[in-house]
Every structure is written in structure tokens, then in C-alpha cells.
A and B are shown apart, each in its own frame.
Chain A
Amino acid sequence: MNTELQLQANLDGELDAREVREIEALLARDAQSAALMQELKWTKGAISGNEAEVKLPETREFYWGKIERAIVAEERKAAAAPAERAWWLKFLYPATGLAAVVAVMFVISGGRTTDGADTESVQEDVNAISFRSEAEAMSVVYVADENATYSPVSQEPTNEPEADK
């Protein structure tokens, strides 16, 4: 901070005790700084409490009327804002639901898609193997006995045309 700004900061009470002592010492030995300080004091003293008095050139009713209308308009706008948002949200909600269903199905299927090929799953905990053939439209479940021999326990033909049975 330069000396001039320090003089001003001293006048405005913005310096700490050590800086104030330094400025006082400067003012005692430097006439130019003392003259500048005097000018700053006069100016500050002249302005302080001497702001021009200004009156609003409108009547109470007229001035308030415009404020009241603006408040009402802003409140209407704020109330209308959620309704304006709602039109596109109407489309967003079903889309979100559909996306959730697809995501659940994807997780359940273990990320696999069915392309008509035969699939086989092994359920390790129950010593059972299931077989499903899309081509034959049938499912077979093999369950292991105590000798670990698998034999089919059920066959489920699915929606076969009468003529094929």
C-alpha cells in the first residue's frame, strides 16, 4: 500500500495500532503528507452527513400501484411455471417407467438375449440342470440322485400347435 492510501486508511480507521503510529510519525516529519491529510479530512468532513435530500416525485398510491401489479404478475408467473413444466413431464413419466421395466428384465435375464438358440442352466445349489429348446418349444429339468446321476423329472411343451402334438 502506498503512502497516500495509507494516509486515507488512517483517516477511515482501517489501520492497526502499529500502522497508525507509523503514519503519525510520517505526518510529523513530512509537510506534503500533512497537507494531503488535511485535504482528505476536509473532504470527508464536508461529505459526511451532507447528502442531498431527494424526494420521490410520485404519489404513494401511484408508486405502490406499480409495485403491487409487478408482485401479482410475478406470483402468477411463479404459479404457472410448474404447470408449464408438466406438459413434457407427462411424456417423461411413462418413458421412465418403460426404461425401468427394460432394466429389470435385463438384470433378470443375466444380460443375455434370446435369439431362438437352446439354453442350458446349471443350478449348483440344488444339483439340477434345466434344458430349454426354443426350436422344440420344450423345457426339461434333470435332478441328480445320490449317485449324481441326472434324470429328467419334467417336460413342458409350450404352446405347440395341435397338429404337431
Chain B
Amino acid sequence: MPQPTDFTTTLDVQLVAASQGGDMLAFEELVARHRDKIYARAFSMMRNEEDAIDLSQEAWVKAWQRLKQFQGDSSFATWMTRIVINLCLDQLRRQKRTRAESIEQLDEELGGVERQMPVVAINPTEGMERAELRKRIDKAMVQLSYEHRTVLILHEFEEMEYKQIAKVMNCSIGTVMSRLFYARRRLASLLQSLKKEQQS
């Protein structure tokens, strides 16, 4: 029986080069290294375990097919994350087309709702444990529409600029700014509500 290749000390760039040459074992090691991150990004966007697993696996298949196009301009993890983000956005757009929009969602898209929200005067996350804060943020993110959640994810977690987000989401920079503003204001309001719930 052949011994499994030990890649523990091999760098990502070396594994990518080997994979580009058709080495599937090297590619499997890349999958093992980054699978949690890629799955987590898919899950944060889809909010559904099954969809996140399927789309993350599809992203890996696409990556294998397009490995020759990877020039190393960004890290392999960043390149992979972009692939899974695009797949998730395609899937979310398809889902949106087949689903009737609620009045609230339409109102969000049109904008203006955020201006009616009172400003949160006390920091709703002050003195909170990190684990608790993460839990609350996650809970609040679920309540946002996919467009608002995605803009927040791309800006705050993927550290993308407005114009990069506009390109990925196929919309104007103005729309990105508006969605980000709404998402932040709504998140502040939700975090405040969660704090009040806990205190009462």
C-alpha cells in the first residue's frame, strides 16, 4: 500500500504549483488546509449547512479546473474565497428570483428605512465577552437580507473596498454604500435589542 505523502512542511505556493501540474494529492492537502474557511464563508452567506457544503465543494472543483489561471497575485486562500463568494451570490440570486419579496425587503431595497431608525446612543456591545459578542453578531446577521449581509461580510470580513464589492455584486458603488449603511444601522439596532432582551 503506498504511503500517504507528507505535506506538513510544504507551503501553499508549492502545493499550488504541484496541483497545477496535475498532482491531486497536493490539491487534496490544499482542500484540507482551507476547507473550514471556505465552508465558513459559504455558510455565512447562505445560512444553510447543506447549501454551504455543496457550494464549497463546487468551489473546489471549479478551483481545480481553473488552477492554471491562478497567477499568485493574491494568496491561494483569497483566490478560493472569491470563487466561493461568486458561487454563493449566483445561488442567492437564483433563489431570490424564485421567491416573492416581502414588503419589508422591498422597502429595504428602496432605501430610506434606515433614516427613520433612532440613533443608538449607548454602545450595545460594551463590556461584552468576545464569544458572546460573536454569537450576537451572528444572530443579528441572520436577520438581514442576503444583499445587506453580503455587503457587510465583504466589507468587514473580507476587507474589500466599495468598488470591489460593487464589481462582485454587479451593482453600483452607490448601491453598495446604501446597503452597507442600512446593514450597519440595522445591526446596531438588533444588537441593542438583544442587549435589552438579556437585561430584562
Contact = CB atoms under 8 A, between A and B. Distances in A.
B134 A56 contact: no
Residue among B35, B53, B155, B184 with the highest chain A CB neighbour number at 10 A: B184
A39 B119 contact: yes
Contacts of B40: 51, 53-56
B86 to A, nearest CB: 17
A8 B134 contact: no
A95 interface: no
B156 to A, nearest CB: 5
Nearest to B133: A50
Interface stretch (B6-14, B24-32, B73-81, B100-108): B24-32
Contacts of A135: none
Contacts of B31: 63-64, 67
Contacts of B155: 12
B119 to A, nearest CB: 5
- Chain A interface SS verdict (over half): helix
Contact of A35 (B57, B121, B184): B121
Residue among A32, A39, A40, A48 with the highest chain B CB neighbour number at 10 A: A39
Interface residues of B, number: 49
Interface string A50-74: 1111111110100110111011001
Contact of A39 (B115, B120, B137, B178): B120
Interface residues of A, number: 38
Contact of A46 (B36, B53, B125, B178): B125
Contacts of A21: none
Nearest to A70: B61
Interface string B10-48: 000000000000001000100110011001100110000
Contact of A8 (B137, B156, B184): B184
Interface of A: 1, 4-5, 8-9, 12, 14, 32, 35-36, 38-40, 42-48, 50-58, 60, 63-64, 66-68, 70-71, 74
Interface of B: 24, 28, 31-32, 35-36, 39-40, 43-44, 49, 53, 56-58, 60-61, 64-65, 114-115, 119-121, 123-125, 130, 133-135, 137-138, 152, 155-157, 161-162, 174, 177-178, 180-181, 184-185, 187-188, 191
